[in-house]
């Protein structure tokens, strides 16, 4: 079975370079790497020599971060793959990540999420990092402590698109990510729910490890408020529930939106 690693990028050139370096160090290298470029002021990512990497265009004039559409574009660029591994551009993969995911997808199937720990600012300091250095510096996300063994997810809303893998045929049967989610927010929760509804088992594994590289962020992500409001409505129409409630409630408290879930009201201000 052929394995493709897919990532999407806008900016974050240093992060991308370290992700690709992690893929270069794999014990079982991927057959193909696809980078979906979402545009932006930085130049189109350069393809490193000696690796089977392609860059595909995935810019969308409606939004700077067309996450759902970009992941689907990356999948189309990996048309011959049997197993798809998706990594956010911030993730440095451990040397066994591809092998760990591929083995589980081949033998068990389903939708797999590996363990990603978080690095502090300034780590790694350069491209000569070692996994031991990253391990010492990293810590699990407070809501994502590693399971002791491969574990079924009881709640599909716990699916996280930061690092995941599945058989390509299953991705295609789901139709990939739903591109009616435009821009940032909600598309991954919808994907997890549709996978669960289609009968795919969602798994977490302490293997397929990665390290999330530090970057500036805001919580709630006010720069994406309009995308989040639109995508929350898309999600609500399908599932009858409001996603991202913590963010929506924070936006309401900041008077950026009017959010009255009991009345079905969500409006940007």
Rg of the chain over Cα atoms, rounded to whole angstroms, equals 18
The residue written with tokens 């709630």 in the block is 220
Share of the chain above pLDDT 90, in %: 95
* DSSP characters over 228-245: HHHHHHHHHHHHSS-SSH
Write down the pLDDT at residue 170. Answer: 99
Question: Is it the case that residue 82 has pLDDT exceeding 90?
Answer: yes
List phi, psi (to 5°) of 257. Answer: -140, 160
Write down the pLDDT at residue 47. Answer: 86
* DSSP characters over the chain: --EEEEEEESS-HHHHHHHHHHHHT-SS--SEEEEEE---SSPPPPPPTTS-EEEEE--BTTBS--HHHHHHHHHHHTTT-SEEEEE-TTEEEPTTHHHHHHHHHHHT-SEEE--EEEPPTT-SSSS---HHHHHHH-EE-TT-PPPSS-EE-S-GGG--TTEEEEEHHHHHHHTSS-TTS-SSSSHHHHHHHHHHHTTPPEEE-S-S-EEEPP----SS-GGGHHHHHHHHHHHHHHHSS-SSHHHHHHHHHTTSEEEEGGGTEEEE-
Rounded to an integer, the average pLDDT of 6-29 is 97
Rounded to an integer, the average pLDDT of 167-194 is 98
Write down the pLDDT at residue 145. Answer: 87
Q: Which pLDDT band holds residue 144 (cuts at 50, 70, 90)?
A: confident
In the chain, domain spans: 3-212, 222-268
Q: Which pLDDT band holds residue 152 (cuts at 50, 70, 90)?
A: very high
Rounded to an integer, the average pLDDT of 247-255 is 98
Give CATH for domain 3-212. 3.90.550.10
Average pLDDT across the chain, whole number: 97
Give the pairing type, strands 116-118 and 139-140.
antiparallel
Rounded to an integer, the average pLDDT of 162-191 is 98
The answer to whether 83 and 107 are in contact (CB under 8 A) is no
Rounded to an integer, the average pLDDT of 116-142 is 96
Q: Which two tokens stand for residue 100?
A: 């760990």
pTM (2 d.p.): 0.97
The residue written with tokens 């940032």 in the block is 184
Share of the chain above pLDDT 70, in %: 100
**Distance from C-alpha of 221 to C-alpha of 128, rounded to nearest angstrom:** 32
Rounded to an integer, the average pLDDT of 3-19 is 97
């Amino acid at each position: 079975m052929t394995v493709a690693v897919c990532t999407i990028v806008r900016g974050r050139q240093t992060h991308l370079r370290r992700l690709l370096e992690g893929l270069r160090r794999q014990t079982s290298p991927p057959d193909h790497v696809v980078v979906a470029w979402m545009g932006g002021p930085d130049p189109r990512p350069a393809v490193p020599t000696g690796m089977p990497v392609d860059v595909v265009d995935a810019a969308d004039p409606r939004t700077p971060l067309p996450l759902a559409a970009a992941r689907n574009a990356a999948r189309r660029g990996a048309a011959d793959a049997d197993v798809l591994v998706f990594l956010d551009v911030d993730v440095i993969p451990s040397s066994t990540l591809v092998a760990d995911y591929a083995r589980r997808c081949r033998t068990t199937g389903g939708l797999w999420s590996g363990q990603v720990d978080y690095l502090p600012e300034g780590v790694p300091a350069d491209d000569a990092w070692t996994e031991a250095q990253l391990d010492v510096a990293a810590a699990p996300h407070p809501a994502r402590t590693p399971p002791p063994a491969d574990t079924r997810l009881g709640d599909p809303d716990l699916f996280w698109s930061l690092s995941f893998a599945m058989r390509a045929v299953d991705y295609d049967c789901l139709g990939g990510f739903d591109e009616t989610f435009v821009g940032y927010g909600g598309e991954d929760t919808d994907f997890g729910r549709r996978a669960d509804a289609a009968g795919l088992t969602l798994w977490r594994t302490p293997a397929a490890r990665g390290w999330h590289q530090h970057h500036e962020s805001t919580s709630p992500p006010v720069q994406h408020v309009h995308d989040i409001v639109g995508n929350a409505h898309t999600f609500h129409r399908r599932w009858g529930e409001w996603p991202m409630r913590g963010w929506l409630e924070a936006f309401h408290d900041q008077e950026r939106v009017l959010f009255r879930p009991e009345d079905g009201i969500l409006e940007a201000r």
